[in-house]
Structure formats: structure tokens, C-alpha cells
């Protein structure tokens, strides 16, 4: 059963249209990510679900009840903000108790127990009487999480909650979020611009672009079968090269503007002018051999890997290699890639 149902949501701020008719269903207990670049409308969509933003057109349902015109406090939701939005004049325990107090859930003792349990969930039970500003960013963030789950809302809304943490803490929190979601089974909508975060956390990823849904599917689907140029560029930051499809001895081939060709899988059906999407981690480089040649422009040392920026038919092309692969600038290298890993997208 759908827990959250958005039907043809439109939103305009003045003359600017931010959302162009978005329809989305989130099943009970599902973890859905809204993924997109900044300004794509993902946060606006989340705020519409929360009731912090009104819709220009369309409707919002939570558990079968239309809530489009209801204020946030009448919807059984919890939201975690990017800035955490902890109340600075209350201590940690009071912050976590706040939603229980305001919604009138349970007596004083029951509330205290729930607060304790929620703080234990995020391993902050020893910080109950601290003020938010006495805590580190990571700890504040966990308090915000405890506060969001303490009342067991019907829908948990997370607005880029991990973006203010350093890389190490972020990984820890990702694991924690997954575990908490598995344990509590809360319906969760998670907004992020970080594709890795979206792919690793969610049951389903909804890719938004310029106020429209570009593609939705499981993380594996989104990653391996991007439906559009935008999707393949955004997810895994693939290289997009313009090309034409021509017939070759061993099936269809992609012909670049400088005449070089790249072998495609035998059952590739798309014809005409296309974009060839090549993941930078799927490309391998060698000094000799058959295949399209590209020129090395720069090398970026990434520690565990090298990233080469190449030039193929005048287009920039990025490739990730092991860190012991060495080419010099200006050198001509041969590209090879498994034909099955090449995505052909109509242009």
C-alpha cells in the first residue's frame, strides 16, 4: 500500500516554475531517495510533503488521507533539516522530547523512556543534559535523527542530513541510517545531491532534473541502465560522446566525428545520431592495441587511482585507472571497453 502518494504536483514561485507535475508513490516502509543537482526542486518537493510549502497544483496523500491543505503539525511526519535545527535553548533530552510533548504522546514517564530509547539508538544517552552548542556537528546530527524518529512518524523526511559532515562521519552515519531504517521500518524520503549516498542507502532512487522526474528505479537499475544522457552523466558521471551508429563486421559500431569507431554489443538497436555513454571506471587504457585512440591531456593523482583526462574527437574524456598506470601528457593511448558496458542513448 502506498504510504505517500504525490499526484501531479506543480509548484511555482512567482513566475518561476520549480516543479512541473511530479507524481510519485512511496510504499510503506520504503526508503526513497530524491536525487538531483541543486535547484532541481528536490527540497521543494520534500517541503511540500512536510506541509512547509503549499502546492500550486496537485495533491498529497499520506496513508490514503488527502493532506494537501493541512499544516505541517496536522500531518504525522518528522523532518530532519540540513542544518539540524536543534532548539538552542533546550538541552538534548528536551529537544528529543519536544515532538512527544507537542503531539501529546504518552505521559511524562513514557516520554522519558522513549527519549532514552531514541538517544540509545543514536548512542548519545550520556549527552542528555548537554546543550546543542556543546556538541560536535556529528553529535548534533544524531540528536536531530533521534528527535525525528522518537515519535515514530508515518513518514520520515530527511533533507540532505549528511551533507555537513566530513567524509568519515558520513560513512558511519550512512550505515547507522540503514540500520535504523531496517529496525524501525519507517517510510523514509531522503533528499540528496550525492549519487553515492542515494545509491547506497535507498530501496529506490528518483532522479530529478529541472522539476521533472528524469528516471526512477532501484539503485542497480539507475546505475546500470541510465535512461537518458542526464541520468548517465549524473549517476557515475559517465562521459557522453556524440557519435553515429554504423554497421560493422561484428555488429553495430559507434563512429565518432573524427572517423574512429568503437565496437558495440551485437543487439544494440538504437540507430541514427546518438550519445555514447562511457563510465570512467569502465575504460581501460593501453599504449598499443586496436581500438579508438585518444590523447592524454592531464593526469590527476587520486591516491588509490589515477584519473586521466583525455581528448577523443575533440571531446574531453575522463578515465579512472590503477595508480601505477603511467602515461605522459600528449601521448596517444588506446581505449578499450567491454561492449556490454557501453550505453547508447538517442540524441
Partner 1 sequence: MNDRTESLLLALPGLLLLVLAFFLPIGQMLVLSISGPDGPTLSHFARFLSDPFYLGILWRTVRLSLLITVICALIGFPLAYIMARVGPRLRLWLVVMVILPLMTSVVVRTFGWMVLLSRSGLIPELLRDMGLVGRSFALMQTEAAIVIGMVQVLLPFMTLSILGVITRIDGRLEEAARTMGCSFLQSFRTVVLPLSLPGIVAGSLLCFTLSTSLVCDAQSARRHANTSVGGIDLQIGYPNAGLAVCCSTGGHIIRWHPAGTGALYQDDGLQQWLSQSRHGCVRLP
Binding site for partner 1 (CB under 8 A): 50-52, 71-73, 77-79, 81, 83, 85, 87-89, 98-99, 102-103, 147, 151, 157
Q: Closest CB to partner 1 among 81 and 223?
A: 81
- Least distance in Å: CB of 233 to partner 1? 32
Cell numbers standing for residue 308: 586521466
Q: Closest CB to partner 1 among 21 and 106?
A: 106
Cell numbers standing for residue 43: 527540497
- Least distance in Å: CB of 126 to partner 1? 24
Burial of 133 (0-12, 13-18, 19+ CB in 10 A): exposed
- Least distance in Å: CB of 186 to partner 1? 14
- Least distance in Å: CB of 14 to partner 1? 12
Cβ neighbors of 231 (< 8 A, separation 6 or more) are 207, 214, 215, 222
Q: Closest CB to partner 1 among 90 and 325?
A: 90
d(Cα 220, Cα 236) in Å, to the nearest integer?
Answer: 12
Stated as kind and residue range, the H or E segment containing 281 is none
d(Cα 103, Cα 295) in Å, to the nearest integer?
Answer: 64
Q: Closest CB to partner 1 among 151 and 284?
A: 151
Pairing status of strand 31-35 against strand 187-192: parallel
- Least distance in Å: CB of 194 to partner 1? 21
How many angstroms separate the Cα of 67 from the Cα of each of 44, 59, 240? Answer: 16, 8, 42
Q: Closest CB to partner 1 among 8 and 87?
A: 87
- Least distance in Å: CB of 331 to partner 1? 52
Crossing angle of the two packed helices 137-149 and 108-121, in degrees rounded to 10 = 130
Residue for cell digits 536531530?
144
Q: Closest CB to partner 1 among 71 and 272?
A: 71
- Least distance in Å: CB of 99 to partner 1? 4
Of residues 163, 160, 129, the one with CA closest to residue 143: 129
Q: Closest CB to partner 1 among 102 and 175?
A: 102
Of residues 197, 195, 199, 177, the one with CA closest to residue 186: 177
Cβ atoms 318, 297 nearer than 8 A: no
- Least distance in Å: CB of 95 to partner 1? 10
Q: Closest CB to partner 1 among 119 and 296?
A: 119
β-partners of residue 152 are none
Amino acid at each position: 500500500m502506498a504510504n505517500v502518494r504525490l499526484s501531479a504536483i506543480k509548484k511555482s514561485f512567482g513566475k518561476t516554475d520549480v516543479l512541473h507535475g511530479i507524481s510519485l508513490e512511496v510504499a510503506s516502509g520504503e526508503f526513497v531517495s530524491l536525487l538531483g543537482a541543486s535547484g532541481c526542486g528536490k527540497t521543494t518537493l520534500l517541503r511540500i510533503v512536510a506541509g512547509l510549502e503549499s502546492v500550486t497544483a496537485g495533491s498529497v496523500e499520506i496513508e490514503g488521507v488527502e493532506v494537501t491543505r493541512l499544516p505541517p503539525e496536522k500531518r504525522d511526519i518528522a523532518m530532519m533539516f540540513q542544518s539540524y535545527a536543534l532548539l538552542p535553548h533546550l538541552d538534548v533530552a528536551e529537544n528529543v522530547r519536544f515532538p512527544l510533548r507537542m503531539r501529546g504522546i504518552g505521559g511524562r514517564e513514557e516520554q522519558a523512556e522513549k527519549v532514552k530509547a531514541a538517544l540509545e539508538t543514536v548512542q548519545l544517552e550520556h549527552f542528555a543534559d548537554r546543550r546543542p552548542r556543546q556538541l560536535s556537528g556529528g553529535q548534533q546530527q544524531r540528536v536531530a535523527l533521534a528527535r525525528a524518529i522518537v515519535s515514530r512518524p508515518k513518514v520520515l523526511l530527511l533533507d540532505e542530513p549528511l551533507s555537513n559532515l566530513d567524509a568519515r562521519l558520513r560513512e558511519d552515519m550512512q550505515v547507522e541510517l540503514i540500520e535504523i531504517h531496517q529496525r524501525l521500518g519507517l517510510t523514509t524520503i531522503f533528499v540528496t545531491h550525492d549519487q553515492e549516498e542515494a545509491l547506497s542507502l535507498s530501496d529506490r532512487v528518483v532522479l530529478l532534473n529541472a522539476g521533472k522526474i528524469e528516471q526512477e528505479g532501484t539503485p542497480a537499475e539507475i546505475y546500470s541502465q541510465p535512461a537518458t544522457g542526464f541520468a548517465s552523466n549524473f549517476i557515475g558521471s559517465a562521459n557522453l560522446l556524440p557519435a553515429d551508429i554504423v554497421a560493422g563486421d561484428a555488429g553495430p559500431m559507434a563512429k565518432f566525428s573524427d572517423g574512429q569507431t568503437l565496437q558495440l554489443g551485437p543487439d544494440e538497436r538504437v540507430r541514427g545520431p546518438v550519445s555514447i555513454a562511457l563510465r570512467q571506471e569502465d575504460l581501460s587504457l593501453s599504449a598499443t592495441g586496436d581500438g579508438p585512440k585518444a590523447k592524454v591531456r592531464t593526469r590527476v593523482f587520486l591516491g588509490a587511482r589515477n584519473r586521466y583526462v583525455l581528448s577523443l574527437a575533440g571531446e574531453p574524456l575522463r578515465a579512472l585507472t590503477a595508480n601505477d598506470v603511467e602515461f605522459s601528457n600528449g601521448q596517444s593511448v588506446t581505449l578499450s571497453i567491454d561492449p556490454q558496458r557501453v550505453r547508447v542513448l538517442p540524441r
